[in-house]
Structure 1
């Protein structure tokens, strides 16, 4: 009896200790509980759910189909909301000055990581957050998992030679303006704009399954007469389809300024253009493209968003005290939207402000949807930074989009596609080509190592490289 009593007492004590540790864990490690109640913004016959689930396509009870511009605008906002929810999912949406939790699209793989040098396979999706890069920071060699960015611009050979080719797109990313000359974008605070491209898991799985990270495999695939066709989202399923997010970040050089409570912020490491050295900084999101291939939009949904303080809504309605990011209302001799006249080189001139205006007025349907969604966010998520972002416009097709990609070669036929009455241009991503539409460039996107075979509108696929051949290896050894 005594032995049994002792065993029972020990068991009770152990249970009490375990329960106490469990309770303490909520104090030591606060649990992030998901929102139990989903909030809904209703606009006409469309409903925008506020949730982390990215919509695979229109269909179902929220947006039944796309019959007009408002439908696709609401779908774009639905994508934007889901992709910009902080992870792990918390009880907040757009908390000001939050740099601890990345938003969903920031957890996607970078273009550089999906297509490593020499045709090597990328790391597993589940290990992305743990991947470290070795860099020299403040004179010390360190390993970091931080976001590492470089400005998207054409570089002189001298400047390019100073940069880390494992981080930077050495082929020259062309986000602002695809032409052979200086094309960086300077903000009014005398800092550069930085860019990144992120690709979702469905696109990652497609690349890995077909070993398209090796450029040779892409060419072999299309040479057999099979066009490249990236996966599309299927309504009412968990198949999201291929998503590419292209972001423009403005550097924050006065973090205590209350203006930044209106921006999505992220900590990052950037490689300074004037020195070639890495340094820590904080970035503010000023522009975001969301490219999404869906079953009903197989020519992709092309949505673009901006922070509302970038430039005046239109040149005739300027606020003298608003502090625009890329426009100075007091500069009388500034010609707007002019590419810079010089390269930023090591030891040379640093970035200077570029005067930017919006060439195409925001679409009327977009402004109407923006007003409703922004007001809804302000009322239901007080203080959220996302109420200070706006949809610029969306390109979509009323013709299902199949014919536009039937061709094996570029240019893809986009003449059958319904497009908005105005060109869709983001002032931070198409600063110097606001008269062009997304398809103007993307219909020319090719697979890696080809100038003719189409890559289904994706420039990212062309970033793959091929393994070194025996001949090239022998040259390297000499």
Structure 2
């Protein structure tokens, strides 16, 4: 038994040292092994997260539990936020953990090098990835909620029929936006990995005619395994605060439009684009695997976004909460009535409080990140929750019309205060099981991304 345990320890040490890039004076730290890592509960036979660029394999390590999926989420977060390489969607393998999240590093992460939804669903060929442009990588961003342009392309009755609920609540289709306590709008983007984007481009699913024909032929649009979708929320970093805030946020440069007003459909009217610095405040990661064909739904936030109801920390200056405000929390602004610069008072509802188990894991991971790079901005992010199917259903056994089966998705209290600000009582699958196209309601594999396709008149 002693020999077996020693062999297991050696194998574990070798595995960890291959993934680690830490540069510490102590041998254990240099090899990536520490007491904090040893204490991380990721379930039996599951390696703990490390600061590295390797995207983890499927989630369950032979079995499923919340602790296993919590660790799986952090592994995805750490790898996808590694510095991108010159090739779209791949990490820079020359980067080291000691530089992970260095303040003032505005270079894109792996997921930022994925194609945006706008690129994927454009009829023209997407532009080549240009990491080394003259002024550095600058993205374009133009959404003030996750579904800014849907209300203009699809009538509300059709949306209600597709989603099986109140569109205004589910989709924030009134044009609701989120304004931080500095009076700046939050901006959103949607991206997908090459497995998913190549599938869509190869089958020309950016055309409504092709999309509907493909869905009819295949009784739905079933995304390939290892598809990943990313939704990100960004706050504007005022230039006079850049030097101080760059130490606490992942910051990227982006061309952002002015909002000149709203049209008759409550869609924003955009004006001139100018370069701004954006700080990451929220990140959804959803990933389809053989063991999670209903996707694993992972959501992260900046630690100072907003307090949980009844748990305000007076020492924290929250980005979306003012302790002196008398406004009712989580109230959606109304176009034509509310000012774009009026801060929205936000709290996390008590039912969605981060569990003690996840709080403990978050602390351990943040300590691990700090051990690699004491200045890393990634130490200021936290896992909020992970949703996963306890009884996964493979595509071929699922419904051929929406709603899809949910695979025993668990837990049922998951929301990101920057992206589900006004619908925190709902959970991911409440809406996403209804994702579909056409009058026949052919399912689109829990993804609303295909609502981006312009419908033929």
Matched-pair contact (CA < 8 Å) for 1:290–1:304: yes
CA gap 1:326/1:207 in 2 versus in 1, 3 angstroms: same
Q: Deviations over 1:115-151 (max 9, x none)?
A: 01xxx25337xx233799xxxxxxxxxx996211123
1:379 equivalent in alignment to 2:371: yes
Take 2:242 and 2:144, find their aligned partners in 1: how far apart are those partners? 27
Q: How does 1:55-70 map to 2 (within 5 A)?
A: 55-58=56-59, 64-70=61-67
Q: Deviations over 1:61-93 (max 9, x none)?
A: xxx234210100000000000000112322221
1:426 equivalent in alignment to 2:416: yes
Matched-pair contact (CA < 8 Å) for 2:237–2:277: yes
Structure 2: where are the runs of 5+ without partners?
Answer: 1-19, 23-29, 86-91, 160-166, 261-269
Which protein shows a greater Rg?
1
Take 2:434 and 2:246, find their aligned partners in 1: how far apart are those partners? 38
Matched-pair contact (CA < 8 Å) for 1:319–1:329: no
Take 2:449 and 2:400, find their aligned partners in 1: how far apart are those partners? 17
Q: How does 1:194-205 map to 2 (within 5 A)?
A: 194-205=187-198
Q: CA deviation at 1:223?
A: 1.5
TM-score, L = length of structure 1? 0.74
Take 1:287 and 1:342, find their aligned partners in 2: how far apart are those partners? 23
Q: Which residue of 2 aligns with 1:207?
A: 200
Matched-pair contact (CA < 8 Å) for 1:405–1:413: no
Q: How does 1:299-310 map to 2 (within 5 A)?
A: 299-310=294-305
Q: Deviations over 1:304-326 (max 9, x none)?
A: 000000012x2322233421000
Q: How many residues align?
A: 390
Runs of 4 or more off by more than 6 Å in structure 1? 172-176
TM-score, L = length of structure 2? 0.77
Q: Which residue of 1 aligns with 2:55?
A: 54
Q: Quick check: 66-75 or 395-404, which moved more?
A: 395-404
Q: How does 1:363-402 map to 2 (within 5 A)?
A: 363-402=355-394
Q: CA deviation at 1:210?
A: 2.1
Q: The residue matched to 1:408 in structure 2 has which SS? A: coil
Match of 1:294 among 279, 289, 292: 289
Q: How does 1:85-164 map to 2 (within 5 A)?
A: 85-88=82-85, 89=92, 90-91=95-96, 92-99=99-106, 101-116=107-122, 120=123, 122-123=125-126, 127-129=128-130, 146-153=138-145
CA gap 1:192/1:171 in 2 versus in 1, 3 angstroms: farther
Q: How does 1:332-371 map to 2 (within 5 A)?
A: 333-343=326-336, 349-359=339-349, 360-371=352-363
Matched-pair contact (CA < 8 Å) for 1:455–1:462: no
Matched-pair contact (CA < 8 Å) for 2:292–2:392: yes
Match of 1:268 among 254, 257, 260: 254
CA gap 1:386/1:401 in 2 versus in 1, 3 angstroms: farther
